[in-house]
């Protein structure tokens, strides 16, 4: 089933998650004139091996890095929810905040992280899993139902998302050819200076993984997703 997409929302746990999992896909949507919104759940305040770094400084640095990365990919706007990195829980507050952003920007398509544990520990960080599960709960039924979070009305009317892409690397339903946006993905990743001691090595790893994901479909580089279509 083909669904017409005009508005895309990417909801991830940390700054840089969107670029790693979907940067090339986001760049393609931007080039095609789609409206893309980022929602970043945490402040990214724990991701540093620098013993002189503080959480407060790191949160400010990572917010700037994420803003620059999003601009590189053509993202229209970013919403930072500000939850503490490493401490995300499936709470009413988080479900309400995610529901509010879905209702506010009314995406046709949401891209998010997998709620499942895998042996790819980087991809299935606890914050990622909880964020992915919360997003799916908000897509159905919380963002849709007017009786959910009545305090959001009348400012944020219910909205029905049409489709969800869940970042996936094993047996994906959707393979997106990012051969023509791979350089933008890497340029956006390079904005996250605080996270990489050796960007050349990271560049090589990302290219290698993206090439492996594209091989089965004959793409030079790809990003892959599971797909959920929400019936009308």
> Does residue 2 fall inside a structural domain?
no
Count of beta carbons in the 10 Å neighbourhood of residue 171? 7
CATH number for the domain that contains residue 114? 3.40.50.10320
Q: How many domains does the chain have?
A: 1
Pairing outcome for strands 35-42 and 7-12: parallel
- Model pTM? 0.96
Distance CA 26, CA 176 (A): 10
> Does residue 1 fall inside a structural domain?
no
Q: How many residues are given for the chain? A: 232
- Asked whether the beta carbons of 95 and 102 are under 8 A apart, the reply is no
Among residues 8, 73, 4, 12, the alpha carbon closest in space to that of 34 is found at 8
Q: Quote the Cα angle for 92-16-163, to 5°.
A: 60
pLDDT tens for the 232 residues of the chain, in order: 678 999 999 999 999 999 999 999 999 999 999 999 999 999 999 999 999 999 999 999 999 999 999 999 999 999 999 999 999 999 999 999 999 999 999 999 999 999 998 777 667 799 999 999 999 999 999 999 999 999 999 999 999 999 999 999 888 999 999 999 999 999 999 999 999 889 999 999 999 999 999 998 999 999 999 999 998 7
Location of structure tokens 């080039």 = 31
> Does residue 117 fall inside a structural domain?
yes
- Asked whether the beta carbons of 128 and 17 are under 8 A apart, the reply is yes
> Does residue 218 fall inside a structural domain?
yes
Distance CA 90, CA 187 (A): 33
Tokens of 197: 């001691």
Location of structure tokens 């091996």 = 49
**DSSP secondary structure letter of residue 186:** H
pLDDT of residue 169: 83
Residues contacting residue 96 through CB under 8 Å, at least 6 positions apart: 149, 151, 152
pLDDT of residue 138: 98
DSSP helix/strand/coil, 176:
strand
pLDDT of residue 119: 72
> Does residue 208 fall inside a structural domain?
yes
> Does residue 57 fall inside a structural domain?
yes
> Does residue 136 fall inside a structural domain?
yes
| Structural domain span for residue 140 | 7-229
């Amino acid at each position: 089933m083909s669904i017409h997409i005009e508005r895309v929302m990417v909801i991830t746990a940390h700054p840089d998650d969107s670029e790693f999992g979907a940067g090339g896909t986001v760049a393609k949507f931007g080039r095609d004139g789609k409206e893309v919104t980022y929602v970043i759940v945490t402040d990214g305040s724990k991701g540093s091996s620098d013993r002189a770094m503080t959480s407060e400084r790191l949160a400010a640095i990572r917010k700037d890095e994420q803003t620059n990365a999003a601009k590189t990919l053509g993202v229209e706007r970013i919403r930072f929810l500000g939850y503490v990195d490493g401490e995300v829980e499936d709470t009413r507050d988080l479900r309400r905040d995610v529901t509010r952003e879905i209702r506010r920007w009314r995406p046709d398509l949401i891209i998010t992280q997998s709620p499942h544990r895998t042996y790819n520990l980087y991809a299935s960080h606890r914050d990622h899993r909880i964020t992915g599960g919360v997003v799916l709960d908000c897509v159905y039924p919380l963002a849709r139902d007017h009786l959910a979070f009545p305090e959001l009305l009348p400012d944020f009317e219910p909205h029905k998302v049409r489709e969800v892409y869940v970042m996936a690397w094993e047996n994906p339903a959707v393979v997106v050819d990012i051969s023509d946006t791979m350089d933008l993905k890497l340029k956006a990743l390079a904005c996250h200076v605080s996270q990489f001691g050796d960007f050349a090595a990271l560049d090589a790893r990302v290219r290698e993984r993206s090439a492996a994901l594209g091989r089965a479909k004959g793409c030079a580089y790809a990003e892959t997703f599971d797909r959920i279509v929400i019936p009308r």
